[in-house]
Amino acid sequence: MSLKFGTSGLRGLSTDLNGPAAALYATAFAQYLLSSGQASPGDPILLGRDFRDSSPSISAICAGALARAGLTVLDCGTVPTPALALYGLEKGAAGLMITGSHIPADRNGIKFYRPDGEIAKIDEQAIGAAADALKAQASAIDATPGEAEDHAAQAESLFLARNKAILAEGALSGLKVGVYQHSTVARDMFVEVLAHYGADVVPLGRSAEFIPVDTEAVSPATIDLLKGWASEYKLDAIVSADGDGDRPLVSDETGLPLRGDLLGLIAAQFVGAMVAVTPITSNSGLERQEGLSVLRTRVGSPFVIEAMQEAVRDGKTGVVGFEANGGTLTATDFILNGTMLKALPTRDSFLPVLAVLSRAAHRQRPLSSIVADIALPVALSDRIENFPLETSAALMAHLRAGMDNLSAFLKPIGTPQSVSDIDGLRVTLSDLSIIHFRPSGNAPEMRCYVEAETAGKAESLLEQGLARIRAFESQRG
C-alpha cells in the first residue's frame, strides 16, 4: 500500500486507504495510545472527516477498528480540523481526522491527535512501527465498519463559541464578504461567524462534488472565479479554506489572493504575539517586522509545533506559529476582546481570516492598500502535480551533489549566492531574489517558491523555475 506520513498526517490514494489500511492505522494508533499511557480502555476518541467521497467509508472503518481496540468512539462529523482538535483538548481525548486536505479528490488521509494535541514526528514513527508489527502478524486486519456516538453538535458549538468571542460585536459591519464555499467543511461556519460580526455575507460556489483547493498555490481557474465574483458582487474580500478547514484563503477586493504567510503575520500582530514560528518557505521579509522574533523550521505543522513548544519551554511568551499556507497556530493563551483565547497548537483558518478582515474594517481601507503598507517582498509559489516521487528525489540528489550541478541547473535563471538546505533547496541569487525547490511532503508534487522585488520579476522567476523542473523530468524521459 503506497501510504506515507507527510507534512501533516498519513496520505495516499483513496483506493489504498479505504479498506484494511484504514483499520490497520486506526488500530496501530489505538495501541500506541494505550501502550504509552495516553489513553485507557474505554476512554473517548474523536473522529471527524471532510467531504471527500471516500471519507465516510474510511471513517466508519476507523470507528470499527477503534472500538475493537477498546476505545469509545465519538463521531464529530464533518467539522474543520481545528474544531476537532479544540474539542479533543476540551475533553482530553485523542482524535482522528479523515482528510486529504488540499490534495486531489482521488487521494485521502488521516490526521492524528493525542489528548494534548497534534502528534509529533516521534509519534508518527511509533504509529508506523505499530502498523508494521500488525502487518507482520498472520491474522488479517478486520476492516468491518463500526458505529459511534454522535458528538458533531458539541464539537461545532465549542468552535463557534471560540470564534464568536474573538472580535467585538459588529466588528465587521460595513464589509461585504464573499465565502467561497466549494467543498470545505468550514463553509457554513464561515458564513455564521462573519454574519455574527455584522458582515454582509455572500455565499459563493457551493459544490456537492469535492474540489481540492490549495491555499498555498491557488490555481489560475480559482483566481479567475474569485476575480469574477469580486467584480460581480462588489466585494471587499472573499474568504475560504482547504478541504478540512485548517488553511485559509483570503482575496482582496479585486479577487487577488493574499499570501498565506502575510495572513499569518497579520494574525500574529492581531493577537500581540512576540514570537512567530514559521517554515523556511515563508516570506523572508518577516524578519524585518518590528517587535516580532521569527524562528524558522522545516515545512509541516509537526516541526512548527515542536519549535513553538521549545520556545515556551525557554520562557518565551506570546508564541504563535503559521505556515506559508496561512494556517495559524497558537502555543500560548492570548487575551482578545476581554476574553481568553486558549492556545490551539494546530493549524486554524478562522483566526487569520478574522484578523485580516477586522483590520480592513477598523482602518476602513481596501485590503490591497493594507497589503501594500506591509511591503513584503513579492513571493509566489506553484507546483507540478503528478510529479513522480522518484523523479523529485533524483532532482534533489542532483542539485545537492555539488555547486557545479546547482549552478548549471540555474544558469538560465541566475547565479547562486547562498543556499539553505533546511527543507528542499532555497537559493539566494546574485540579484538577491530567491528560488526554492522542494518536493511535497504528502503528495506526488514538486513545488517551486520564489521571491523578488517586483511582481513581474517574481512571475518570470517562477515560470523559469517550473520550466527547469520540467526540463529535468523530460531529460530523465
Which among 305, 313, 261 is positioned nearest to 287, based on CA atoms?
A: 261
Instruction: Report pLDDT for 216.
Output: 83
Q: Which fold has domain 4-156?
A: Alpha-D-Glucose-1,6-Bisphosphate; Chain A, domain 3 (3.40.120)
Instruction: Report pLDDT for 4.
Output: 81
Which among 330, 308, 393 is positioned nearest to 120, based on CA atoms?
A: 308
DSSP letters for 56-88: HHHHHHHHHHHHHTT-EEEEEES--HHHHHHHH
Cα-to-chain-centroid distance, residue 244: 9
Instruction: Report pLDDT for 442.
Output: 63
Instruction: Report pLDDT for 59.
Output: 97
Q: Which of 8, 14, 101, 183 is catalytic?
A: 101
101 is catalytic: yes
Instruction: Report pLDDT for 6.
Output: 73
Domain ranges of the chain: 4-156, 164-374, 378-476
Domain range 164-374, its CATH number among 3.40.120.10, 3.30.300.30, 1.10.10.10, 3.40.50.11540: 3.40.120.10
Instruction: Report pLDDT for 440.
Output: 81
List pLDDT tens digits, range 396-455: 999 999 999 999 999 999 999 999 999 999 999 999 999 999 998 667 889 999 999 999
Average pLDDT for the chain: 94
CATH code for the part of the protein at 378-476: 3.30.310.50
List pLDDT tens digits, range 345-391: 999 999 999 999 999 999 999 999 999 999 899 988 888 988 998 99
Identical fold between 4-156 and 164-374 = yes
Residues of the chain scoring pLDDT < 70: 1, 138, 441-442, 477
* Upper half-sphere CA count for residue 187 (Cβ side, 13 Å): 21
Instruction: Report pLDDT for 1.
Output: 46
